[in-house]
Amino acid sequence: MAGAKWVYTFGDGKAEGEAGMKNLLGGKGANLAEMSNLGLPVPPGFTITTEVCTYYYDNGKSFPADLDATVKAALAGMAKLTGKTFGDPANPLLVSVRSGARASMPGMMDTVLNLGLNDVTVAAVATASGDARFAWDSYRRFITMYSNVVLDIDHGHFEEALEDYKERKGLHLDTELSADDWKLLVGKYKDIVRKELGKDFPQDPQEQLWGAVGAVFSSWMNARAIKYRELNSIPASWGTAVNVQSMVFGNMGETSATGVAFTRNPSTGENALYGEFLINAQGEDVVAGIRTPQDITEAAKIEAGSDKPSMEKAMPEAYAELCRIYGILEKHYRDMQDMEFTIQEGKLWMLQTRSGKRTAKAALKIAVELAQEGLISESEAVGRIEPGALDQLLHPTIDPKAERRVLTIGLPASPGAAAGEIVFNSDEAEAAKKAGRKVILVRVETSPEDIHGMHAAEGILTTRGGMTSHAAVVARGMGKPCVSGAGQIRVDYAKGTLSVGPTTLKAGDFITIDGSVGQVLLGEVKMQKPELSGEFGILMGWADKVRHLRVRANAETPEDARTARDFGAEGIGLCRTEHMFFDEDRIQPMREMILAGDDKGRRSALAKLLPMQRQDFVSLFTIMQGLPVTIRLLDPPLHEFLPHTEAEIAVVARALGVTAEQLRHRAAELHEFNPMLGFRGCRLAIAYPEIAEMQARAIFEAAVKAAKETGKPVIPEVMVPLVMGVPEFDLVKSRIDAMAEAVKKETGAELSYQVGTMIELPRACLRAQEIAKTAEFFSFGTNDLTQTALGISRDDAGSFLGSYTARGILASDPFITIDRDGVGELVKIGVERGRKSRPDIKLGICGEHGGDPASVGFCHEVGLDYVSCSPFRVPIARLAAAQAALGEVKAKEG
Ligand code: ADP
Ligand code: MG
Ligand code: MG
């Protein structure tokens, strides 16, 4: 580390860093440098690198020896640019100390403003600004923030003191307090510090500065930050940078302000400046939601029906400057920006810019429009959308026909609708979710301590805070519906109630929130499936142009098949026929079939099932018109269908002409110790060929019928489950082929079909070369393959898998993302060996992994032909497949 550069300066139209240096400078520092380089008005400062953070933790929380001198030099540089000197009692430079990791972590790390103030410098600031109120207001803010962040004194103490003071004086708003009021309060605040800390509030600016820098590094390891990193897969090793920046003041009266703005609407994607600001305030006021902010544009103000003036009207010059700058930033970064700014006596200063978080809906619209505007290419647009985020668009909304009993209205903070029981705290939300209940988390406002509750809840409702409050920002990121700032609601945490006027609801009562319009509704309101926007179709079209993998769906019911087609599925990759037998009218003959003592009994029960099964397939083939449909023969252990109650047993016994006692005996025979590895899959077809024959007949007769009716060819793919080698496969295949011959003869129709197998046992991967001699396709059943390769039963994994992933023994849950090193290796072997005997063998995957973006990437890499996933995940898989293809192109070019 000798000779390492620990500090990078910025300001006055130049910087030592730039936007590409996020790893070293953190996102905030890199972009402050970039904005300086662009010549934008950025208060000068410097960034202490993330390497110092790493050093700090590697060396018992100490700083590199030469850091102090480097920081002093950087502060001297700031003095040159500002004409003020840090620590100078007569002409003090005040700074902010701001954290900034590589990835933005909203609200996770704390910022200290107005650092450098003390009993002496506060007077100098008052004199220099000619505004004693401003000076003392800044000082009290500094003591509060510094005490909270650095000295670990609960800010509640200061708030209490302030509230008491206001009450005694009959004052309501902070803005009503005079210089003398704040001066008095500063005295009280210092008393609080002395009492809580046992020593005085630090007066030495150098001590203040190093205390704050250390606190920023320490906060990297606080519980909230750790939790956030865990939820967002951010490694602890990245560390955070610290930015020290000269202060600009939004609290210098009516010509000063602070605000947050997005270059496009982060909720809808609309191409219009969007944001909020507060006059005579400092940054933390906006985020904390203590005062309700004002709109930036006049249009937004009118739309919201607000009675407070917009920035456009109240500060036209600063507004024009903001518009100029946002145009520059968006063109430069070629993406929607989230900007923080402060106006000091009419002059606008930029304090932050970054790519803005947005809803999936906004992400689509923005990506498509940026491409149409020529700022990015179509492929870049495809790469801009996180496949998993599409889930948000597939969220339900409120049925327009449903009655809306509106309890109250708040801000439409994050779109989509959700219904659930009211809970008032995050631990309860988490517990309820575990118990299988749906909840809406209701809070006055949320803080990073609520992340787990927000995760567990269907939706979030707050009574305070604007569109950029913690609740709103985090909910949008999570894709959860959120209504914020519903100010008419009174929450009583102690009683567990919320009330609006005369209406009182208690914990456990149902409410529905509509985050798209900000409504809070009584009861559980009916939802409807989402409608997809034009941009969705356009972007999917671009994705389809670049991807190689085809995407099919796992579907049995006509409804699922239709959904799958609507979402662009190119066939059915897995039709689980057993799912078709659980219906009321099916389970009866199914039970007869299973429990029949002989061939004859089985055949007569199967004869009842045949027409129903045939009709199922006719509907599927008709919906999927001309697209491939893979049908898997009966797979699960038979005992899953057994009758349980005495009444059920009696019915089956009567139908079979046996006693209940005999039936119970037969059922007991079917008991298995480990059904997952028991009498299931092709083992059923081998023991009871008549089952496979009935299913094959139903498939072929349906194919003939549907082809005739639709005029489109039907090419069924019959799939034999759970083979361990070629003998099983050939045996079952010969029965299927014979049935195809029979149906051809009987109907006189042409019949094309394929017979293939599901590869879901390690042995089948190893024997793939032989199996492929007769099998015309492989579908990797990665659910079972994961269970059998890892020897982990998915249903029993809950008790230990979490600790495995937490400790890094497994990189991620192997049932969600394919275990590349193990299961992936087996798939590769299966692919290679299968292709040896049949180069054009059709290869697919049909486990849950087919809808997981990372696993789709793997399938692309190993050259499968298609993935098959649940209908709602089809768009996700299409996009993930496109990104995998683009990634490959990029890797080749780079
Ligand atoms: P966060 O990461 O939580 O957004 P920031 O470091 O961006 O924290 O600080 C929060 C707010 O504090 C900023 O949006 C800005 O309003 C205010 N702020 C930070 N530094 C300065 C500064 N040098 N001058 C004026 N305000 C500042
Ligand atoms: Mg913060
Ligand atoms: Mg910020």
Distances (CA, A) of 282 to 137, 285, 301, 426: 10, 6, 22, 29
Domains of the chain (ranges, CATH numbers): 7-246 (3.30.1490.20), 257-356 (3.30.470.20), 399-526 (3.50.30.10), 547-575+615-635+697-893 (3.20.20.60)
* Confidence (pLDDT) at 343: 98
**pLDDT surpassing 90 at residue 452:** no
Residue 248: partners with Cβ closer than 8 Å, 6 or more residues away? 43, 342, 344, 347, 349, 351
**Secondary structure string (H, E, C) spanning 473-540:** HHHHHHCCCEEECCCCCEEECCCCEEEECCEEEECCCEEEEECCCCEEEECCCCEECCCCCHHHHHHH
Which ligand 1 atom lies nearest to the CA of residue 95?
23
Structure tokens at 672: 């298995």
Q: Which residues pair with 717 in a beta bridge?
A: 630, 754
CB 341 within 8 A of CB 348: yes
Distance between CA atoms of residues 193 and 191, nearest Å: 5
Distance between CA atoms of residues 667 and 651, nearest Å: 14
Task: Indicate the pLDDT class of residue 671, thresholds 50, 70 and 90.
Answer: confident
The type of residue at 30 is: A
Distance between CA atoms of residues 155 and 61, nearest Å: 25
SS3 278: strand
In this structure, the residues whose C-beta lies within 6 A of any atom of ligand 1 are: 43, 96, 98, 107, 111, 113, 245, 247-248, 258, 283-284, 340, 342, 351-352
Task: Please choose from 28, 84, 352 the residue to mutate so as to test ligand 1's pocket, defined by most ligand atoms within 8 A of CB.
Answer: 352
CB 34 within 8 A of CB 251: no
327-330-333 Cα angle (round to 5) = 145
- Ligand number nearest CA of 243 is 1
Mean local confidence (pLDDT), 39-65? 96
Region of residue 184 (phi > 0: left; psi between -120 and 50: alpha; otherwise: beta): alpha
Task: Indicate the pLDDT class of residue 640, thresholds 50, 70 and 90.
Answer: confident
CB 636 within 8 A of CB 758: no
Task: Indicate the pLDDT class of residue 108, thresholds 50, 70 and 90.
Answer: low
Q: What 8-state DSSP symbol labels residue 449?
A: G
Distance between CA atoms of residues 837 and 72, nearest Å: 72
Positions marked active-site: 470, 846
Q: At what angle do helices 584-595 and 646-656 cross, to 10 degrees?
A: 60
Max alpha carbon distance in the chain (Å)?
105
* Confidence (pLDDT) at 288: 62
Per-residue pLDDT of 786-827, as tens digits, reads 999 999 987 778 778 878 887 889 988 898 899 999 999 999
Burial class (CB in 10 A: 0-12, 13-18, 19+), 833: middle
- Measuring CA to CA, which residue among 272, 280, 227, 304 is closest to residue 467? 304
- For ligand 1, atom 19, name the residue with the nearest CA: 96
**pLDDT surpassing 60 at residue 107:** no
- Ligand number nearest CA of 260 is 1
Task: Using a CB cutoff of 5 Å, list residues around ligand 2, an ion.
Answer: 111
The type of residue at 301 is: K
Helical (H) or strand (E) element with 125 = helix 121-129
Which ligand 1 atom lies nearest to the CA of residue 45?
23
CB 30 within 8 A of CB 19: yes
**pLDDT surpassing 60 at residue 36:** yes
- Count the neighbouring beta carbons within 10 Å of the beta carbon of residue 887: 14
**pLDDT surpassing 90 at residue 332:** yes
Distance between CA atoms of residues 827 and 771, nearest Å: 14
**pLDDT surpassing 70 at residue 2:** no
Which ligand 1 atom lies nearest to the CA of residue 104?
2
Per-residue pLDDT of 69-102, as tens digits, reads 999 999 999 999 999 999 999 999 999 999 999 8
* Confidence (pLDDT) at 212: 95
* Confidence (pLDDT) at 479: 67
Q: Which residues pair with 719 in a beta bridge?
A: 632, 756
SS3 159: helix
Q: How far is the CA of 110 from the centre of ligand 2 (A)?
A: 4
